[in-house]
Amino acid sequence: MSGRRRLRLVAAAAGAVIVGAALTGCGAQGPEEIHFTFNKREAIDFMTQVVADYNASQDQYRVEMDTSGVDPIAASFVRGNPPDIMLSNYNHEVSRFVSRCALDDLSDTDAAAEIRPDLQPLLDQYGVCAGTTPALPYSVMASSVIYNKDVFAEYGLEVPTTWDELIQVCDTLKDAGVAPFYGTFADAWTVNQGWFDYAAGGSLDMLEFFDGLAAEGDQVNASSEYSFEKDFAEPMEKLQTLAADYTQDGASSRVYDAGNVGFAQGDGAMYMQGPWAFGEIAKTNPDADLGTFPLPMTDDPDDLKVRVNLDLAVLIPKDGQHKDGARDFLEYLFEPDIIQAYNESQLGFVPTTDGEAPSDPRVEGMIPYYDSGAVYQGPGVLIPRTIPAENYAQSIALGANAQSVLRTLDADWSRLAFRQPATSTEDAG
């Protein structure tokens, strides 16, 4: 048991004694109820056990977990009755609460002192509340190219680290009658989070690019300093080369489920999916020997990076009614054994400075990049959902005129920036 956990339990026990003494003669009172929302369906069983263990560890607070999803949470903010603590996917919906300064500053928590500082710029890409730390990352998911190690070994292939090496690998596989990549272009989201994100993130500095777009405001076009049409032209050309020349027959009609089965059966050597696909692939081929590597998009190995997303972050709404209990449970969630076990169960990366790398060999190819900070968030998660980026990415993979699609994306971005109301980044107190 960590020192912080011991102190927490001692404090809770002391508090219980004091409260018990104060209530003598006026009736017993139950623990304070903490409303906790959690919206990652795949991990509900794990988090249910965490909540049960916490409740059993002390009697001052009782956490009740709510898994109803994002929409009810948004409605609760409007009604002024938000949850006490949230463990949520960090995305545009959640970041609205950040940019509107509707969340507590967590910079004074023990947990905040343990977060890797190089993750803060990724949080800030979604919005900030100046001078505060409104969200603490809890789980980082990294994704890259999944490859079949047995197929690579059969044809004497090494993991490519440059664009030219990637094409050589693809040509060797294609000449042998093996589809280099298994494409699932019928599902737009798979193109968006994989092909589109990997191509752009492996070619450009996503922090610089999106900061530049924000500075351009509603003036984004091919003549501006930053532009989808201009900056994404080469990455999308390379994406189309891979999609057109190095995928299996019928890639345009394959959906995600079919892709998991097809790849598991050896119908492709590489697959642009995240670690969530491993479990589905294992249903068909539990013995598949799989690994991961970042998609090389340049001829400089130093440019290699893996795509990450802040899968979960902890937030405490300002209008929550039970702040002490919420903070106590927050610190419990960040106990090293708990946060480590959670991320291990989900093939995620721990965002704390002393977090251990995942032990699953299928993701070990991404560990050195995460450890060195060679990571990026893809445009698929940074472009607001009011812009149909998934459909644009899909159309590019299917062979549409990329320049025209990117020009439309520039226009959409400019229109949204023009309509976007100014929001304060000052702490509303």
- Could you tell me if 67 and 111 lie in one domain? yes
**Structural domain boundaries enclosing 298:** 142-305+374-419
User: What Rg do the C-alpha atoms of the chain give, in angstroms?
Assistant: 24
pLDDT greater than 70 at residue 90:
yes
Domain count, the chain: 2
- Could you tell me if 292 and 147 lie in one domain? yes
- Could you tell me if 224 and 284 lie in one domain? yes
pLDDT digits (tens, 9 = 90+) for 140-175: 999 999 999 999 999 999 999 999 999 999 999 999
Span 241-265, mean pLDDT? Answer: 98
* More confident call, 263 vs 20: 263
Backbone φ and ψ for 33, nearest 5 degrees, come out as -85, 130
pLDDT digits (tens, 9 = 90+) for 31-62: 999 999 998 989 999 999 999 999 999 999 99
Pick from 22-31, 114-123, 305-314, 411-420: least confident: 22-31
238 falls within a domain: yes
pLDDT at 11: 42
Q: How far, in Å, CA of 415 to CA of 409, rounded?
A: 10
- Could you tell me if 11 and 75 lie in one domain? yes
Backbone φ and ψ for 318, nearest 5 degrees, come out as -60, -35
pLDDT at 9: 45
Q: What is the pTM of this model?
A: 0.88
**Boundary-marking domain end, from 365, 386, 409:** 365
429 falls within a domain: no
64 falls within a domain: yes
Cβ(174)–Cβ(120) below 8 Å:
no
Q: How far, in Å, CA of 95 to CA of 7, rounded?
A: 33
Span 377-387, mean pLDDT? Answer: 93
428 falls within a domain: no
- Could you tell me if 151 and 75 lie in one domain? no
Pairing mode, strands 290-293 and 270-273: unpaired
Span 15-41, mean pLDDT? Answer: 64
424 falls within a domain: no
**Boundary-marking domain end, from 323, 348, 365:** 365
pLDDT greater than 50 at residue 123:
yes
- Could you tell me if 359 and 285 lie in one domain? no
Task: Give the chain's mean pLDDT.
Answer: 91
pLDDT at 18: 34
- Going along 97-198, which residue ranges are E strands? 136-148
pLDDT greater than 90 at residue 105:
yes
Give the contacts of 428 (CB within 8 A, at least 6 positions apart). Answer: 100, 101, 102, 318
DSSP code for 192 = I
- Could you tell me if 86 and 234 lie in one domain? no
Site of tokens 């445009």: 379
- Could you tell me if 290 and 322 lie in one domain? no
Pairing mode, strands 375-376 and 306-315: parallel
pLDDT at 17: 37
- Could you tell me if 291 and 163 lie in one domain? yes
Span 5-29, mean pLDDT? Answer: 42
74 falls within a domain: yes
pLDDT at 27: 39
Distances (CA, A) of 191 to 148, 183, 240, 274, 394: 20, 8, 11, 12, 6
| CATH number (domain holding residue 393) | 3.40.190.10
pLDDT at 16: 39
Give the contacts of 404 (CB within 8 A, at least 6 positions apart). Answer: none
- Could you tell me if 115 and 230 lie in one domain? no
Cβ(67)–Cβ(41) below 8 Å:
yes
pLDDT greater than 90 at residue 103:
yes
Q: How far, in Å, CA of 32 to CA of 362, rounded?
A: 43
Which has the closest alpha carbon to 144: 274, 235, 282, 263?
Answer: 274
pLDDT digits (tens, 9 = 90+) for 325-378: 999 999 999 999 999 999 999 999 999 999 999 999 999 999 999 999 999 999
Burial of 15 (0-12, 13-18, 19+ CB in 10 A): middle
**Boundary-marking domain end, from 365, 382, 400:** 365
* More confident call, 78 vs 335: 335
